[in-house]
Amino acid sequence: MNILISGGCGFIGSHLCKKFIERGDFVLCVDNFITGSQENVSELLTSPKFKLLVHDISLPLYIREEINWVFHFASIASPKHYLAYPIKTLKSGLLGTHNCLGIARDKGAKFFLASTSEVYGDPLVHPQPEEYYGNVSITGPRSCYDESKRAAESLVYAYMRQHNINVRVSRIFNTYGPNMLPDDGRVISSFIVSALKEEDLTVYGDGLQTRSFCYIDDLVRGIIMLMDTDYQLPLNIGNPEEYRIIDLANKIIELTGSKSKIKFLPLPQDDPKKRKPDIRKAEKILGWSPIVKLEEGLVKTIEYFKKKLNL
């Protein structure tokens, strides 16, 4: 199989690259390093089956290789970074999806969009099933990410209807694990790095907002299972075990044995109050459900950051 992965040097993309190289596929990894890092794929660089192309996927890309699967993962996906680069975020969501769909059409490839739980915004339905249309601010600070992913889904289905492209769309809920950037501002990476450095953990708001955290290996398994079915509609992939952010902070302090304290900071605008995937469809269609418990995944992620930061 020849596989193109945009954002292949990013957190999730790099795990997919590794998985496909391990099973003998050829991987064309496309990344412009805005939030991806070459270190994430360093062990793959010597493989003759791995090719890294430094390119901004919001610009057109013409490639010679035959491609069977196109994954569009290039995205500025952490709130800290998309608030800093709102236009680039919109461009990778809109133009990047368009360019990747163009490649899939040209090559007759199956197309995968990495969509997000953010399409549900600050949800009024809990947990969130795929049928929920969401509660997204059109103009708020998070809209560059949310609306570009919503429009990306729309583009995918336009290509499916008009050009008969074979598509897969996964709405990915909060995922964590090795290869996250230590400074991406996301809650798990931030809390672990602060705890390891014995610095205060910054809880935004009262910490009673919730998220449901999926370990990277579970997500990658779900994505590959989705590619192997013929299900073309959006599918939630995430772990439905829901935690309050304050409880997550305390758990990370406990697991790292840190002396860090918790510091409360104002809640950012439009920060969703709760989030939890309804994964009944993934369970039924893929026979998939997450197996890694939060504590087990956190321990592995803590080990990763300890090594990465020499702590």
Chain residues in the site for ligand UDP (CB under 6 A): 78-79, 174, 185-187, 190, 202-204, 209, 211, 245, 267-268, 271
Q: Is 221 exposed, middle or buried (0-12, 13-18, 19+ CB in 10 A)?
A: middle
Give the nearer residue to ligand UDP in terms of CB position, either 26 or 127.
127
Residue 246 CB, nearest distance to ligand UDP (Å)?
Answer: 8
First to last CA, the chain: 40
Query: How many CA atoms lie less than 13 Å away from 124 in the CB half-sphere?
Result: 5
Angle between helices 86-107 and 143-163 (to 10 degrees): 20
Q: Using alpha carbons, select from 96, 84, 91 the residue that is nearest to residue 57.
A: 96
User: Which residue out of 82, 120, 145, 176 is catalytically annotated?
Assistant: 145
Q: How many CB atoms lie within 10 A of CB 62?
A: 8
Residue 58 CB, nearest distance to ligand UDP (Å)?
Answer: 21
User: CA 79, CA 56: separation in Å to the nearest integer?
Assistant: 20
Cβ neighbours for 100, distance < 8 A, ≥ 6 positions apart:
4, 6, 57, 70, 72, 111
Give the nearer residue to ligand UDP in terms of CB position, either 25 or 270.
270
Helix, strand or coil for residue 262? strand
Residue 105 CB, nearest distance to ligand UDP (Å)?
Answer: 31
Give the nearer residue to ligand UDP in terms of CB position, either 136 or 203.
203
Residue 190 CB, nearest distance to ligand UDP (Å)?
Answer: 4
Q: Using alpha carbons, select from 51, 92, 147 the residue that is nearest to residue 134.
A: 147
Q: Is 48 exposed, middle or buried (0-12, 13-18, 19+ CB in 10 A)?
A: exposed
In the annotation, is 132 catalytic?
Answer: no
User: CA 144, CA 212: separation in Å to the nearest integer?
Assistant: 22
Give the nearer residue to ligand UDP in terms of CB position, either 6 or 212.
212
Give the nearer residue to ligand UDP in terms of CB position, either 148 or 190.
190
Residue 77 CB, nearest distance to ligand UDP (Å)?
Answer: 8
Give the nearer residue to ligand UDP in terms of CB position, either 2 or 115.
115
Residue 275 CB, nearest distance to ligand UDP (Å)?
Answer: 6
Enzyme catalytic residues: 145
